[in-house]
Chains A and B, each alone.
Chain A
Amino acid sequence: MMHAAAVPPRLRVGLWLETLGAWTLAIAWVAPLLYAIWAAIHPTGYAARFDLLAPLTLDNFTAAWNAAPFPRYMLNSLLLVTFVTGSQFVLGTLAAFVFARSTSRWTGLLFALVLVQLMIMPDMLIIENYRTMRALGLVDTVVGIGLPYVASAFGIFLLRQTFKQVPRELEEAARVEGCSTFGILWRVYVPLARPTYLAYGLTSVAYHWNNFLWPLVITNTVETRPLTVGLAVFASTDQGVDWAIISAATLLTSAPLLLAFLLFQRQFVQSFMRAGIR
């Protein structure tokens, strides 16, 4: 925090204590994950016995993979996040463009209506949204899981903030060159908002990959269940308390996001900060 050249001894002790605290907290924060890895790569008997020489095995992963339709669940989750995040991008971009550039009082009012969703999320409206889905015949479909989230206030809000910072001159120059409204949006606004798309896209993918309650309510077959619901069904019925296999299944469920995050964590955090979400 401070940029002092020479650190006095009292501060050095303080720094040492802080480092200790920071690392203790960090270990506590990754402990569940480390434990899951430990339990998953050792035979069941070692789930609660920490022996460095315990034999390694991948059997738990194969057992979990074969014990439940995880490939299908994974496909469902992939379809879900592609559908949701993709549609959020398209709808959010179109709406945010209007909100960023219109000065009409009507759009101001509509924007206030959009912001309502920041507070009252579809997560809490499961009873009525279930009724709606039943009326639309979308119960137990991937579209049914995703549809309530496709128009996202958070996305529209973020993109509007970003679009507002685009200089008007750029837009006018493009117009002089003969660009249509969509051309301006596509060639000027969208490229300039790339960090926002990345930050928002990653958040959205993580949110919907991990979402549980609404998918639990709206799905009831293997063909539509996303990974989270599949994992819950698997852990509650099939396995009793075989921690090794449950840990393996848990890791399989989290792996895609976790890997993506570890690979892109720097970009992830930075695009988050650059998008000005604060």
Chain B
Amino acid sequence: MRGRATLHAWLMLGPAMVLLVAFTHYPVVATFWHSLFSTPRGARPARFVGLENYDVLAADPIFWQALTNNLIYALGTVPLSIALALVMALWVNGRIAGKAALRVAYFTPTVLPMIAVANLWLFFYTPDYGLVDRLTQLLLGWGATNWLGSRETALGAMMVVAVWKEAGFFMIFYLAALQAIPPVLYEAAAVEGASRWEVFRRVTLPLLGPTTLFIAVNALINGFRLVDHIIVMTRGGPDNATALLLTYIYEVGFRFWDTSQASALTMVLLLLLMLIALAQFTFLGRRTHYR
């Protein structure tokens, strides 16, 4: 009886575990392994080169630029999306007229494909007659700006699109957390005569702590994953100003077909993600959401 239950358990776990190992765990190990070999070209097979691919990487200015860009991109979009998501959730959960419509509006970008979104924003950013330029001209009197074509603005423009895309999704998590706060707490605060700001700071915000951390981790991962619009809108340009790790991996791996170099690049990305995971487990402990 006991043996059969165990057999059942393994049979039920089997398919999921095999596929998970094949497409998540094995590739991590294989990436490391292949990053130690040269890329096979034509008749020349791959040969062991030790850490040479990493040496090449360290000497590659585009890699350093992509890494810096990616850190700016991640650290810039994370706090912005979190703050916006929180404000949205408070509004949608509050007393404002037309809450249901607001919720739909905020959430809409989440269901649009990033690639479709990229096409629309491409037009918004068009110099002179794009909507962004028209607005800045109308409100601030600025001239035509080549938002996607100049090094100074391109990465910022990409970050705006990313924040616009994901803030509404994170709003849902905040909304769920807000609605789980017992009304008794607000009543108690009202009895104490606390101001709205005090209630927010002392009751709402602390109770949203675990949600904020959960969202922060997800937003951070998105900061390394959400690159579809960059591939379509700027292809990492101009002059690598919007190159991120994943777009560079794509370029090196599938445009130059230098898979070993791309493997070394992937290792850097994986290392960053492992650091995030480690930080998450040390600072949060497991209990907040992996219960």
Interfacial residues, chain A to chain B (CB-CB below 8 A): 1-4, 11, 14-15, 18-19, 21-23, 25-33, 35-36, 39, 47-48, 91-92, 94-95, 97-99, 102, 104, 107, 110, 113-117, 119-132, 147-151, 153, 156-157, 161, 181, 206, 209-210, 212-213, 216-217, 227-229, 231-232, 235-236, 243, 246-247, 249-251, 253-254, 257-258, 261-262, 265-266, 269, 272-273, 276-278
Give every chain A residue within 8 A of B269 (Cβ-Cβ).
Answer: 124
User: How many residues does chain B have at the interface if contact means C-beta atoms less than 8 Å apart?
Assistant: 103
**B246 contacts which of A11, A23, A124, A258 (Cβ < 8 Å)?**
A124
Distance (Å) between the CB of B285 and the closest chain A CB? Answer: 14
Distance (Å) between the CB of B264 and the closest chain A CB? Answer: 10
Complex CA–CA separation, A266 to B31 (angstroms):
43
- With A31-B131, A278-B176 as known contacts, state yes or no: A151 contacts B15, CB within 8 Å: yes
28 pairs from A and B in contact (CB 8 Å cutoff): A1-B186, A1-B196, A1-B199, A22-B102, A28-B164, A32-B124, A35-B124, A47-B123, A95-B17, A97-B12, A107-B13, A126-B250, A126-B254, A127-B249, A127-B263, A130-B254, A151-B16, A206-B111, A210-B111, A217-B254, A227-B113, A228-B115, A247-B120, A250-B116, A273-B172, A278-B173, A278-B176, A278-B210
Nearest 5 pairs between A and B by C-beta?
A: A128-B27, A151-B19, A26-B105, A210-B113, A148-B23
Give every chain A residue within 8 A of B119 (Cβ-Cβ).
Answer: 231, 235, 246-247, 249-250
Distance (Å) between the CB of A111 and the closest chain B CB? Answer: 9
Give every chain B residue within 8 A of A32 (Cβ-Cβ).
Answer: 109, 117, 120-121, 124, 164
Distance (Å) between the CB of A182 and the closest chain B CB? Answer: 9
Of B58-66, B74-82, B142-150, B227-235, which stretch is located at the interface? B227-235
Any A CB within 8 A of the CB of B96: yes
Distance (Å) between the CB of A58 and the closest chain B CB? Answer: 19
Give every chain A residue within 8 A of B12 (Cβ-Cβ).
Answer: 94-95, 97-98
Most buried by A among B123, B225, B270: B123
Chain A binding surface, main DSSP class = helix
Distance (Å) between the CB of A203 and the closest chain B CB? Answer: 9
Within 8 A of A (CB), among B257-291: 259, 262-263, 266, 269-270, 273-274, 276-277, 289-291
Complex CA–CA separation, A33 to B116 (angstroms):
10
Most buried by B among A1, A94, A231, A250: A1
Residue of A nearest to B15 (CB): A91
Any A CB within 8 A of the CB of B168: yes
Chain B binding surface, main DSSP class = helix
Distance (Å) between the CB of A130 and the closest chain B CB? Answer: 8
Q: Quick check: B114 and A126 within 8 Å, CB to CB? A: no
Give every chain B residue within 8 A of A48 (Cβ-Cβ).
Answer: 129
Residue of B nearest to A180 (CB): B8
- With A3-B187, A250-B119 as known contacts, state yes or no: A125 contacts B24, CB within 8 Å: yes
Any A CB within 8 A of the CB of B47: no
Q: Quick check: B16 and A92 within 8 Å, CB to CB? A: yes
Distance (Å) between the CB of A27 and the closest chain B CB? Answer: 8
Complex CA–CA separation, A18 to B101 (angstroms):
15
Q: Quick check: B172 and A127 within 8 Å, CB to CB? A: no
Any A CB within 8 A of the CB of B221: yes
Q: Quick check: B114 and A127 within 8 Å, CB to CB? A: no
Complex CA–CA separation, A91 to B291 (angstroms):
21
- With A3-B190, A124-B246 as known contacts, state yes or no: A29 contacts B113, CB within 8 Å: no
